[in-house]
Amino acid sequence: MSDKKLLNYADYLNLENILNSQKLKSAEQGKPAHEEMLFIVIHQVYELWFKQILHELDSILNTFNQNSIEESDVSLAVLRLDRIIEIQKILIDQIRVLETMTAMDFLEFRDYLFPSSGFQSAQFRILENKLGLTPDHRIKYGNQDYKNPLLEAGRKVVKKAEDEKSLFDLLETWLERTPFLKFEGFDFWDQYSSSVREMLEKEVEAIRNNPNHSTEQIAYHLKEHEMATASFEAMIDVNKHNELIEKNKKRLSHKATQAALLIFLYRDEPILHSPYNLLTRLMNMDELFTTWRQRHAIMVRRMIGAKIGTGGSSGHAYLQKTADRHKIFSELADLSTFFIPRSTLPKLPGKIKKNLGYHFKS
């Protein structure tokens, strides 16, 4: 008979340590505040979810850091992103639980929290870095390096993530390797550019010949159309695109932008389904992090009003700025500006269309 100890649920999950890790600062001061337990548990759960997101994200980074990426690898990355997205929805919903605590309840223990702050979450800083948020795009926190408030061990791992290739970097490289941009006898970019210009010319004629608009209205719409045309030309012209990158108004390379646009425009072709799903999930993930930051900012405003945060930040104002600025894949979302109707898309030659599909012979 084996003397091996049978695995126990509590031991496997290390519940003794987990369930005894809620140390109320208010109780240590002899004034236990009932709501502090909820505050601690919510934030501990956040950190556990961050750990799981990083686990999924590292898998995706490893996939896209390979020299050769198979379609099955892209499909697996989509599944990993789906999981991250579902976790993000939980992160947002948890704010509703935290909001069952009133502002007056929070004041019962808030003073005991100084100078700790959610800004000191090393895991979240690692997550931002791994996604592709760069130091020069960060909102300044107290006019200091964002790593300074972290513990020394946290600073090291955050700096390591900052120096490594991010998901944005790896995505850009992967897009630049897209093989469908130029085939023998078919140059997507040239034909797309011609289709865009033809569409724009028709729009000008439609504006000028609209019998329902006054002279002033026609002039207004023509001016708006000129701005749209300039935007298209900047999109089409590699030199203009690179100028915008130099001015920090764009980040994604022209070739990667071309590839992403092609994937969006021809997403109905079978071989582009997985790439399209990948880009869509990245936009969804970006939007959900923005939503989480916005909800967090609203909750903080409700809890502390115009007071400074416990870590010394401007509280609501700082969080709202991060929601507006800390976006990674917004250039993918912006590509919808350059979509054209399916009816005006350059027609794919039969041979190319066959290469983009799946064909089975009995």
pLDDT of residue 127: 97
pLDDT of residue 118: 85
Distances in Å between the alpha carbon of 329 and those of 131, 134, 136, 162, 335?
9, 12, 16, 17, 11
Q: Does pTM surpass 0.85?
A: yes
Rounded to the nearest 5°, which phi and psi values hold at 142? Answer: 60, 30
pLDDT of residue 167: 98
**CB burial readout 29-38, b (16+ within 10 A) else e:** eeeebebbee
**Bridge partners, 187 (sequence order):** 182
pLDDT of residue 227: 84
The residues of the chain scoring below 50 in pLDDT are 312, 359-362
For the beta carbon of residue 241, count every other beta carbon within 10 angstroms: 19
By C-alpha distance, which of 275, 280, 282 is closest to 356?
275
By C-alpha distance, which of 285, 280, 289 is closest to 83?
285
> 93: which 2 tokens?
């919903």
Q: How far apart are CA 38 and CA 137, in angstroms?
A: 33
Cα 225 from chain centre: 30
> 337: which 2 tokens?
């500006």
Helix axes 273-304, 316-325, angle to 10 degrees: 170
pLDDT of residue 1: 54
pLDDT of residue 346: 81
How, if at all, do strands 182-183 and 186-187 pair?
antiparallel
Q: How far apart are CA 264 and CA 78, in angstroms?
A: 16
> 98: which 2 tokens?
């935290």
pLDDT of residue 195: 83
Bond into 115 cis (ω within 30): yes
Q: How far apart are CA 330 and CA 333, in angstroms?
A: 5
